[in-house]
């Protein structure tokens, strides 16, 4: 049965998806359909290899994988930590490297040092909560935002933000800085636990091939 079944990949839209497709292509898993940028299709198939791909918003990728709508997902570790879904994290893909940080204006350093009750804006309320409550034992008010989080301190919505920092240029251009580092991040491959059992051979082979390729690319 497993030979006939499609292996379905959910990829986080954007750069991560492109990087993932490049990597998969190197191990012979290709999908011509997905390269057509004008296409409005949502699902892309390689009939010969029995693989399917779809692109989803990053935070939805672990959801598709947990429910088995996709066997495999590729998404940033930030999303995996935030969503806390029942999925297996099987591979660090090494790209999409960045850091989860507490950022803000220099003045906020003192507020952090003295464990003041501050306002924290973030797209990642769960990560922010875990960090402040369980690691720093600091009571804070967390405000969920959906993007352009750097605005928080600029318009006095919050004292600091918890966000990903890649090059640091967004912070720099807005007069903000990294105040504390929470953890390093990179793109990860996740697998649905049932698929891992049902398509064990196929998925293990894929992980092994990808690992070999990643080592060869270093």
**Span from 75-83, 148-156, 184-192, 204-212 in contact with ligand PRP (CB under 6 A):** 148-156
CA distances from 210 to 17, 93, 189, 215 (A): 15, 8, 10, 9
**Beta carbon of residue 147, minimum distance to ligand PRP (angstroms, whole number):** 3
- Strands of the sheet containing 160-165, edge to edge, are 141-144, 119-122, 160-165, 98-104, 177-185
Contact string 170-209 vs ligand PRP (x = CB under 6 A)? x---------------------------------------
Is-contact 75 62, C-beta < 8 A?
Answer: yes
- The reply on whether position 163 binds ligand PRP by CB under 6 A is yes
**Span from 75-83, 105-113, 163-171, 186-194 in contact with ligand PRP (CB under 6 A):** 163-171
- The reply on whether position 147 binds ligand PRP by CB under 6 A is yes
d(CA 189, CA 136): 29
Nearest to 52 by CA among 26, 29, 36, 80: 29
- The reply on whether position 169 binds ligand PRP by CB under 6 A is yes
Distance of CA 34 to the CA centre of its chain: 21
Nearest to 99 by CA among 170, 204, 158: 170
d(CA 132, CA 127): 9
- The reply on whether position 148 binds ligand PRP by CB under 6 A is yes
Residue found under tokens 């989080």: 149
Tokens of 139: 């009571």
Cα(first)–Cα(last) distance of the chain, in Å? Answer: 36
- The reply on whether position 28 binds ligand PRP by CB under 6 A is no
**Beta carbon of residue 67, minimum distance to ligand PRP (angstroms, whole number):** 25
Contact string 85-124 vs ligand PRP (x = CB under 6 A)? ----------------------------------------
- The reply on whether position 168 binds ligand PRP by CB under 6 A is yes
Rule CB under 6 A: choose which of 81, 164, 189, 203 binds ligand PRP.
164
Binding site for ligand PRP (CB under 6 A): 147-150, 163-170
């Amino acid at each position: 049965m497993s030979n006939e079944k499609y292996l379905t990949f959910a990829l986080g839209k954007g750069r991560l998806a492109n990087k993932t497709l490049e990597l998969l292509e190197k191990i012979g898993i290709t999908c011509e359909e997905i390269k057509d940028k004008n296409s409005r299709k949502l699902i892309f198939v390689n009939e010969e290899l029995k693989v399917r791909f779809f692109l989803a918003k990053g935070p939805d990728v672990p959801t598709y994988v947990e429910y088995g709508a996709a066997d495999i997902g590729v998404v940033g570790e930030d999303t995996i930590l935030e969503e806390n879904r029942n999925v297996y994290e099987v591979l660090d893909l090494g790209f999409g490297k960045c850091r989860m940080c507490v950022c803000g204006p220099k003045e906020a350093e003192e507020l952090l040092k003295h464990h003041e009750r501050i306002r924290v804006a973030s797209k990642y309320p769960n990560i922010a909560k875990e960090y402040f409550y369980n690691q720093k034992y600091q009571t804070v008010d967390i405000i969920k935002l959906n993007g352009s989080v750097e605005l928080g301190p600029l318009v006095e919505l919050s004292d600091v933000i918890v966000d990903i920092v890649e090059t640091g240029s967004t912070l720099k251009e807005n007069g903000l800085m990294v105040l504390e580092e929470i953890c390093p991040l990179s793109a990860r491959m996740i697998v649905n636990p049932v698929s891992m059992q049902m398509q064990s051979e196929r998925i293990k082979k894929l992980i092994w091939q990808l690992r070999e390729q990643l080592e060869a690319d270093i």
